[in-house]
Amino acid sequence: MRILSIIPLTKIPLPAPQVLDYFSSKDAAPGGVAQISLGSRKLLGIVIASTPVGEKKQAIKKSSFRLKSVEKIISHAALIPKAHLKLIIWASQYYYSPLGLVAKALLPRYFAKPTKQFLLELSQFNLGFAKIKTRLSIVPELYKIGLLQNRNPEFKHATIVHGGISSRQEWAIWKAARQGQLQDILGTRSVLAIAPASLARIAVYDAESPYHKSFDQQPYINAKNMALKLAEFTEAKTIYRTTFPMQEPCVNLDIVDMREEIKNGNYSIFSKALQMKLTAIITNNKQAILFINRKGLASGLVCRDCGNIIKCPNCDVPLVFHDSRILLCHHCAVKQNPPSVCPGCQSYKIKFIGTGTERVRNELLKFLPGALSKRLDLDTALKWERQKEIFADFCSKKFNVLIGTQLLLKEGLLPKVDLAAIITVDPLLSLPDFRMGEQVAKIIDMLARSAKNLIIQTYKPDIDIFKCLREYGIGQFYNLWMTQELEDRRALFFPPFSQIIKLVYAHKDPLRAEREAKVLKNKIQIQAANYQLPITNYQLLGPFPAFISRVKSRYIWQIMIKSSIEDLRLRNKLLSMVPSDWKVDVDPVEML
């Protein structure tokens, strides 16, 4: 008789035990698969250890609960390789995420919804002998798979893996990889669910892209970090690469002070310099890119008498005015007709504020009615296929002006054009997130590489980022700016000199949301004192309302932890105080 220690493939909220023991009359190797019962459910679990009953007899006697027996051993062999098991356990600890949930994310989907046919195939699966060392390549976005295949002969016959392939395809790829039949596997972070028999190297493309991180569902893992750890566990070579060769940008730069435009009587969202350039573009049938950080016709409606901004009834954000004559919330999708009078003071003096892609296009057509233009944002192109069509039409010169949000900043898809202009980037620089300066620098750098002329419009021309641009020019700008940015982060104990952990709580009762946040902060402080953590190793910020403090009628509060604690077990002693109804986001993409 054996005791099998098993990871159930389900979410068990932390800090509850994540590995459960079961009796078994038959043995199974670490990495084997068993069918188990948990409560009234039957599910699969991954074996991580097997121990003779005699060695655990005392522990069993002292236990307050009775051990169950496994329902069935599906595979006695180590189907899940040792390195993959280590990766699952490490990711659970690092991201403080339930072990079973991480295991499900790093295995084919069939393991979570096991059919009789799948269980039969799994029980009969033969590992065989590894014949090929696999090369794994990870990209942050789906479109970059095609880019790499077009530019690199190495990937012409690569096996492609992403979230859009079927469960049956994923399972077939997993089996072939485990049997050492695949030389090249290319895909998004979904490739982490494939466990090749032997790895030669792991390449991560665009390692700094935020899209390597899962931010919409648990576990909130980052493929870049996971790849680095997997390479460590398998002794594979790690390579960080860019999607395409980066060249020094060579562009004529003009930073326009929009305050001076207003002083000179120009109240348009287009400066005189930009109007002249765009007129020349259309006259000579050239092309231009207009970047705007917001979608929608305007960021909202404001009363000029009382200052009231028309907000979403469910979320603490302005409703956005769209050309279809509706007000729309981009967080909960509520729709309203624009009011004819201010709901606060009944004034008729309601004015549009802000700038969006629709408004930019309409303003463009006012002084250049013959301009052929298209918008690229989530309203016009929610799916990648539509985005690809717009890029293809622009590259084929079917229209002159592309107006878009961050969606147009896709490396390798933008052609070289005569003009790129940033209508406004000031709202981004005003956000309370330490990465915003870096994001703006990347936007400027990317647009500079896509155009012969770059115009940046701003109401804040004297801030550091624009001073750096004027002093050093666009060629050296990005590297010099990031050098200074790193020094600032070192002084303020921000990454990469610390780790950020964002704790988020939401509740319909605003008082309860605030109270729960304050209680948790107090618990974390007491826990830190109990373990005598030096104040130099961590900082506790908050609690405070989120930047958008109410979404879908739920009030959101946050606590931020800056940590330099290298021992994950010690760090997780702090996180063990976090209740299961909080969101724990380690290395968040944004602070907001």
Is 201 among the domain residues? yes
80 near 104, Cβ under 8 Å?
Answer: no
The CA angle 67-73-76, to the nearest 5 degrees, is 120
Is 158 among the domain residues? yes
Query: How far from 505 is each of 124, 330, 524, 544, CA to CA, in Å?
Result: 46, 21, 15, 11
Is 549 among the domain residues? yes
The count of residues in the chain is 592
Could you list the residue range(s) of the whole structural domain that residue 63 is in? 1-78
Q: Which residues pair with 173 in a beta bridge?
A: none
Sheet strands (E) in 485-565? 499-507, 538-551, 554-563
503 shares a domain with 484: no
| Residue whose structure tokens are 């690092």 | 94
Q: Which residues pair with 561 in a beta bridge?
A: 501, 540
218 shares a domain with 180: yes
**Which two structure tokens, joined as six digits, stand for 57?**
């007899």
**Which two structure tokens, joined as six digits, stand for 1?**
């008789």
Neighbouring C-beta atoms of residue 237, cutoff 10 Å: 12
Query: How far from 585 is each of 500, 505, 558, 589, CA to CA, in Å?
Result: 8, 12, 11, 9
262 shares a domain with 186: no
**Which two structure tokens, joined as six digits, stand for 527?**
């826990």
The residue among 469, 488, 507 that closes a domain is: 488
Indicate whether this model's pTM tops 0.85.
yes
289 shares a domain with 419: yes
The CA distance from 140 to 161, in Å, is: 12
126 shares a domain with 233: yes
328 near 350, Cβ under 8 Å?
Answer: no
Q: The domain that contains 577 carries what CATH number?
A: 3.30.70
The CA distance from 235 to 507, in Å, is: 46
478 shares a domain with 503: no
Q: The domain that contains 146 carries what CATH number?
A: 3.40.50.300
**Which two structure tokens, joined as six digits, stand for 393?**
């039409």
**Which two structure tokens, joined as six digits, stand for 138?**
């990870």
In the prediction, which pLDDT does 296 show? 47
In the prediction, which pLDDT does 248 show? 62
Is 246 among the domain residues? no
Nearest residue to 590 (alpha-carbon basis) of 104, 267, 216? 216
185 shares a domain with 138: yes
List, in order, residues 6 or more apart from 219 with CB less than 8 Å away.
91, 92, 95, 97, 98, 101, 102, 105
The residue among 438, 458, 488 that closes a domain is: 488
Burial group, residue 95, by CB count within 10 angstroms (0-12, 13-18, 19+): buried
458 shares a domain with 410: yes
211 shares a domain with 132: yes
The residue among 455, 488, 521 that closes a domain is: 488
| Residue whose structure tokens are 């490396």 | 411
From first to last of its 592 residues, what are the pLDDT tens digits of the chain? 899 999 999 999 999 999 999 999 999 999 999 999 998 999 999 999 999 988 887 777 777 778 899 999 999 999 999 999 999 999 999 999 999 999 999 999 999 989 999 999 999 998 877 678 999 999 999 989 988 898 888 898 999 999 999 999 999 999 999 999 999 999 999 999 998 989 999 999 998 888 999 988 889 999 999 999 999 999 999 998 765 545 566 789 999 999 899 899 998 999 999 999 999 999 999 999 999 976 444 467 778 788 788 888 888 778 887 766 788 887 788 888 888 888 888 888 887 766 788 889 989 999 999 899 999 988 888 888 899 999 999 999 999 999 998 888 887 888 899 999 999 888 888 778 888 888 888 899 889 989 999 999 998 898 888 998 888 888 778 888 888 889 999 999 999 999 999 999 999 999 999 999 999 999 999 999 999 988 888 999 989 999 888 899 999 999 999 999 999 999 999 999 999 999 999 999 988 8
505 shares a domain with 447: no
522 backbone dihedrals φ, ψ, rounded to 5°: -60, -40
39 shares a domain with 125: no
Is 95 among the domain residues? no
Is 493 among the domain residues? no
The CA distance from 230 to 244, in Å, is: 25
Peptide bond into 30 cis (omega under 30): no
The CA distance from 536 to 532, in Å, is: 11
- Using left for φ > 0, alpha for ψ between -120 and 50, and beta otherwise, residue 397 falls in left
Is 313 among the domain residues? no
Helix/strand/coil for 579? coil
| Residue whose structure tokens are 């390195």 | 83
In the prediction, which pLDDT does 419 show? 96
Q: How many domains does the chain have?
A: 4
186: enclosing H helix or E strand: strand 184-187
567 shares a domain with 521: yes
The CA distance from 234 to 236, in Å, is: 5
Is 305 among the domain residues? no
Q: Which residues pair with 5 in a beta bridge?
A: 21, 49
